[in-house]
Amino acid sequence: MNVEPKRLDFCPMDTPNSPAPAEPGHSPTPATPIVVEAHQLSSGYGRSPVCGIVDFTLSGGGALALVGPNGAGKSTVLKTVVGQLEPVSGSARIHGQEVDDRSLAFRREVAQVFDEDAFFPSLTVAEHLAIVAAGHGATEVEELIDTECEFFGLSAERSSLPHNLSSGQRRRLLLAAAFVRPRSLLVLDEPEQRLDTAMRSRLATRLRGEVAGGLALLLVTHDPAFVRTIATSALFIGDDIRHLTPAAAAAAISETNPHAG
């Protein structure tokens, strides 16, 4: 569905949908804002698509999981939606606006974690989190850092530099940086990578709670437990794109990779 924006500013509190007229004797139900729209979106490199055409909308309070075999194009779709790659054709909008990942408005609303350890080598764990939190307008920064370090098991590493962290700790630091900042859309590329089973479960439960609270979540995952716990909808990415229920998507992961989860 292609929705024309009705505003000039980038504001998640607005919605491009007008609420339906209230029935007599009933209060109107607020429309759920559409956060992400992909319309006839072809993702790839140059003019060569890597998978089929994607069409979806994602609203606040929804979690869309992209599933499929390795190399199917899931991460490429994700990067195209958030503006890291130019679409081969079609379009993506976030909060009704064409995606521009260079804009301050975009960065205020969209938190994303890809499999890239991008850290300042001379900054500690706490300093990284402080810069991300304060730079995105968060308040009570020290309290946020304490909370996320405790959740991600990094309290003892607050003063550590990135090169002194294990691979799993660096992954948890990337995830923590997404949680210390305000966000209306969270984009995660295989968030389960390099996490132990207990942390995967805790993260899935937390994400489910945030989605229930109104967050829009777009993720790529190979973990059927993540899909069953978090997803409200799913897309199977391949030459043909299939819309699946979360249960069917979890089953598809298990069929593609019997050792998943």
pLDDT band of 214, cuts 50, 70, 90: very high
Same domain, 199 and 255: yes
> Which pLDDT value is given to residue 14?
37
**For residue 232, is it within any domain?**
yes
> Which pLDDT value is given to residue 145?
97
> Which of these three, 183, 199, 216, is where a domain ends?
183
- Give backbone dihedrals phi and psi of 40, rounded to 5 degrees, phi first: 45, 45
> Which pLDDT value is given to residue 175?
97
The stretch 35-40 carries a mean pLDDT of 96
Whichever domain contains 53, its CATH number is 3.40.50.300
Pick the more confident residue, 51 or 29. 51
The stretch 177-194 carries a mean pLDDT of 96
Same domain, 170 and 211: no
Residues with Cβ within 8 Å of residue 171, at least 6 apart in sequence: 117, 193, 194, 195
> Which pLDDT value is given to residue 154?
98
Same domain, 69 and 197: yes
Same domain, 260 and 189: yes
**For residue 9, is it within any domain?**
no
| Contact status, residue 65 vs residue 251, Cβ threshold 8 Å | no
Structural domain span for residue 188 = 31-95+184-261
SS (H, E, C) 186-249: EEEECCCCCCCHHHHHHHHHHHHHHHHCCCEEEEECCCHHHHHHHCCEEEECCCCCEEECHHHH
Same domain, 188 and 258: yes
> Which pLDDT value is given to residue 204?
97
**For residue 10, is it within any domain?**
no
> Which of these three, 183, 207, 226, is where a domain ends?
183
**For residue 162, is it within any domain?**
yes
> Which pLDDT value is given to residue 89?
96
Same domain, 156 and 221: no
Question: Domains in the chain: how many in total?
Answer: 2
Q: How many Cα atoms occupy the beta-carbon half-sphere of 80 within 13 Å?
A: 28
Among the ranges given (110-119, 121-130, 193-202, 240-249), the one the predictor scored with the smallest mean pLDDT? 110-119
Mean pLDDT (the chain) is 87
**Calpha distance 22→16 (Å, rounded):** 18
Which range scores top for mean pLDDT: 22-36, 56-70, 104-118? 56-70
pLDDT band of 194, cuts 50, 70, 90: very high
| Contact status, residue 80 vs residue 43, Cβ threshold 8 Å | yes
The stretch 215-241 carries a mean pLDDT of 96
Same domain, 221 and 124: no
| Contact status, residue 69 vs residue 242, Cβ threshold 8 Å | no
Q: Does pLDDT of 236 surpass 50?
A: yes
Share of the chain above pLDDT 70, in %: 86
**For residue 121, is it within any domain?**
yes
Q: What is the pLDDT of residues 146-155, one digit of tens each?
A: 999 999 999 9
Same domain, 126 and 170: yes
| Contact status, residue 82 vs residue 37, Cβ threshold 8 Å | no
pLDDT band of 260, cuts 50, 70, 90: low
> Which pLDDT value is given to residue 237?
97
pLDDT band of 116, cuts 50, 70, 90: confident
pLDDT band of 5, cuts 50, 70, 90: very low
**Calpha distance 235→138 (Å, rounded):** 33
